[in-house]
Amino acid sequence: MRLVKKRSDPRHLKRREIVKALFSWSFQQGKTKNSLVKLIIEKLDKIDKTISPCAPQWPIEKIAKIDLAILRLAVYELMVAKTQPPKVVIDEAVELAKEFGGETTPGFINGVLGTVLKEKGVK
């Protein structure tokens, strides 16, 4: 029996708030009150260096800011926090991409994160 994830799931809602905060931070790189966003920002260099080779057609500065916020959260969860299985992290990122991104965002996010898994050997 497969459980159907609801958009009202507290973990999904938390991820939504983090993506919004990262998106906002990308315009005003000042202080943030969200402690998880602070942790992600502290690891931004490592996170962006992980994303870059996995999206070779798109330099970091050319990736849409909302797409980048979703990728940064997902890569943080995959490479640093490691509290959720990779499949869960990627599924959540794709759901956030459907919610916030453009028409091609879910495929882009899925492709980049799939490459991150393959290239970085995340388990």
- pLDDT 10s digits, 54-88: 998 999 999 999 999 999 999 999 999 999 999 99
Within a 10 A sphere around the Cβ of 89, how many other Cβ atoms?
A: 24
Domain count, the chain: 1
Q: Does residue 106 fall inside a structural domain?
A: yes
Q: Does residue 82 fall inside a structural domain?
A: yes
Q: Does residue 22 fall inside a structural domain?
A: no
Q: Does residue 66 fall inside a structural domain?
A: yes
Q: Does residue 110 fall inside a structural domain?
A: yes
CA triple 72-121-109, angle to 5 deg = 35
Please give the full DSSP string across 57-105, using - where no structure is assigned: TS-GGGS-HHHHHHHHHHHHIIIII--S-HHHHHHHHHHHHHHHS-TTH
Report residue 55 as tokens: 């999206």
Report residue 46 as tokens: 């490592």
The pLDDT tens digits for 28-61 are 877 788 889 999 999 999 999 999 999 989 999 9
The pLDDT tens digits for 112-122 are 999 999 987 76
**pLDDT band at residue 123 using 50, 70 and 90 as cut-offs:** low
pTM: 0.89
Structure confidence at residue 4 (pLDDT): 43
DSSP annotation of 9: -
Structure confidence at residue 1 (pLDDT): 37
Report residue 69 as tokens: 């916020």
**pLDDT band at residue 7 using 50, 70 and 90 as cut-offs:** low
Average confidence (pLDDT) over 16-32:
89
Structure confidence at residue 34 (pLDDT): 84
Report residue 17 as tokens: 């708030």
Structure confidence at residue 41 (pLDDT): 94
Report residue 65 as tokens: 């800011």
- CATH (domain of 57): 1.10.940.10
Domain limits at 68?
Answer: 34-120
